[in-house]
Amino acid sequence: MRIGSPMEIWEYLPGTNCGECGEKTCLAYASLLKDRKKSLEDCKPLFEPKYADKASKLMDLLAPEVREVKIGVGARTMKIGGEDVLYRHELTFFNRTALTYDVWDTMDEAELRVRVKEITDWRKFYVGEFLTLDAIAIRSVSDDANTFATCVKCVAEETDLPLVLCSFNAEVQEEGLKTVSDRNPLIYAADKDNWSEMLSLAKRYKVPVALFSPDLNMLNSLAVTFSSAGIQDLVLDPGTYPTGNGLRDSFSRFVQLRRAGIGEQDKQIAYPLIAVPMTAWQVLEDALEASYWEAVIADTFILRYADMMILHSIEPHSLIPERTLVANIYTDPRRPVSVDAGLREVGNPTAESPLFLTTNFALTYYTVESDIASNKIDSYLMVVDTDGLGVEAAVAGGQLNANVIKETIDSHEIGKKVKNETIVLPGLAARISGETEDATGWTVLVGPRDSGRIPGWMETSWPPENAS
């Protein structure tokens, strides 16, 4: 995206403030375009003949520096690439690293179906959302076209996740494509030996294709050849070598490619990058060691700059760190992860149950809520809007203060449910307890600094001595 501000976008818009995009003004719409929360297609007047030149120019200016490639269809469609910056604090990363886990065509069918289901159904609750996995890579170990096609068909019956078909044999690839081409799979991979056959497949079936070469000049040549032939949905694999100098050089190639694509705006190689950390299994015999090392490699390339990766281990000690790191890196650093302010019920509270207070920083909220719920403490939890800051920072910065607490009580009519008019402040907010009592007229108790200690605090401090 070669455009810096919403005002620059606004200059190319019709400026009619017609509201067809769903926004009151063209400037408001421009702000959402900048953050990719709206698309150009939302502005109907822009595509009238008299604005054709502006539309074309704006389309070019808004295009991300790294091409965005879609794999799969429907609600599960996977978007990779589409990035504009090298470092997330410059703006944000938009499309998180897609984690793809493998199956192979020599597996027993029952075992295959079980593994596909485990990958498809895996999820973990983390900071207000369920983390899931993104795709399944089907590897041709047999190098037999019919065996591969049977495996692909079986996998397609079990999952709606996007698919990656893995074989350097074009005949094997085509048999798999015949089964699932309508699901827009990624074919992996074309290289210096099979590029002509893979190019033919990509054109015939209209699917994205990965290009492989650890030689960046060759990789560039392959990318130019495919794009010149009309294949724009490309993914580049510069090789993932799992140990020693090979790993160092692999890391260097990823950095070179992304810097060239974004920093130097070299459109010839500005495509999504794919890493294959499962190569750790090729050099390590011990399964536990291989799974750990695979996770280390994966985490390295999540940070620099893999847009998707193919992995093997679905063991928790390997999978959870990978998926959690992706969730953390691909949050928007401009906006704290927050929840809505208001009153929550934990368990089955009554009018005399305790009322705990916390901020709307998501990590704080879900930690406190979990500690209360897991200890089966029937209570109310009042969430105060602190612009997404945690307790200590919000007290220091003034976002959590007596007046904000009073406004929360009043605006959410908390007094109608909590008849004891007692608030339990977190220990880190102890210094505002007096002013909170003065502002609200409620009794204020100071709870523990750590919500994990609430059960012990309840034993000694609840109900309060002045309770009726």
What tens digit of pLDDT does each residue of 407-461 get?
999 999 999 999 999 999 999 999 999 999 999 999 999 999 999 999 999 999 9
Pairwise pLDDT comparison (146 vs 20), residue with the higher score: 146
pLDDT of residue 128: 82
- pLDDT band for position 180 (cuts 50, 70, 90): very high
pLDDT of residue 245: 97
Does the structure show a pLDDT above 60 at 208? yes
pLDDT in tens, 141-161: 999 999 999 999 999 999 999
Give the whole-number percent of the chain exceeding pLDDT 70: 99
- pLDDT band for position 127 (cuts 50, 70, 90): confident
pLDDT in tens, 69-115: 999 999 999 999 999 999 988 888 999 999 999 999 999 999 999 99
| Mean pLDDT, residues 4-13 taken together | 87
CATH of the domain at 400: 3.40.50.11600
Q: Are residues 158 and 185 in the same domain?
A: yes
pLDDT of residue 181: 96
The contacts of residue 269 (CB under 8 Å, 6+ apart) are 216, 219, 220, 223, 236, 257, 260, 261
Point out the least confidently predicted range of 23-37, 59-73, 95-109: 23-37
Q: Are residues 323 and 190 in the same domain?
A: yes
Q: Are residues 284 and 245 in the same domain?
A: yes
Q: Residue 446: which domain range?
A: 342-461
Instruction: Give the number of domains in the chain.
Output: 3
Q: Are residues 97 and 172 in the same domain?
A: yes
User: In terms of Cα–Cα distance, which of 457, 455, 434, 438 is closest to 447?
Assistant: 457
Whole-prediction pTM: 0.86
Q: Are residues 219 and 257 in the same domain?
A: yes
Does the structure show a pLDDT above 90 at 37? no
Query: Which of these three, 18, 35, 62, is where a domain ends?
Result: 62
Q: Are residues 376 and 449 in the same domain?
A: yes
Query: Which of these three, 43, 62, 81, is where a domain ends?
Result: 62
Supply the mean pLDDT for the chain.
Answer: 95
CB atoms within 10 A of CB 244: 9
335 found inside a domain? no
467 found inside a domain? no
| Mean pLDDT, residues 267-292 taken together | 97
Does the structure show a pLDDT above 70 at 468? no
76 found inside a domain? yes
pLDDT of residue 1: 62
Q: Are residues 147 and 247 in the same domain?
A: yes
pLDDT of residue 90: 85
1 found inside a domain? no
pLDDT of residue 467: 55
336 found inside a domain? no
Query: Which of these three, 284, 302, 329, is where a domain ends?
Result: 329
Q: Are residues 322 and 358 in the same domain?
A: no
pLDDT of residue 34: 85
Q: Are 69 and 272 in contact (CB under 8 A)?
A: yes
Does the structure show a pLDDT above 70 at 466? no
156 found inside a domain? yes
pLDDT of residue 88: 86
Q: Are residues 222 and 84 in the same domain?
A: yes
> Would you call 241 helix, strand, or coil by DSSP?
coil
Pairwise pLDDT comparison (336 vs 309), residue with the higher score: 309
Torsion of Cα atoms, 55 then 59 then 62 then 68, to 10°: 160
Q: Are residues 284 and 352 in the same domain?
A: no
Does the structure show a pLDDT above 70 at 398? yes
| Tokens 């019956």, located at residue | 157
Q: Are residues 295 and 190 in the same domain?
A: yes
| Mean pLDDT, residues 320-337 taken together | 90
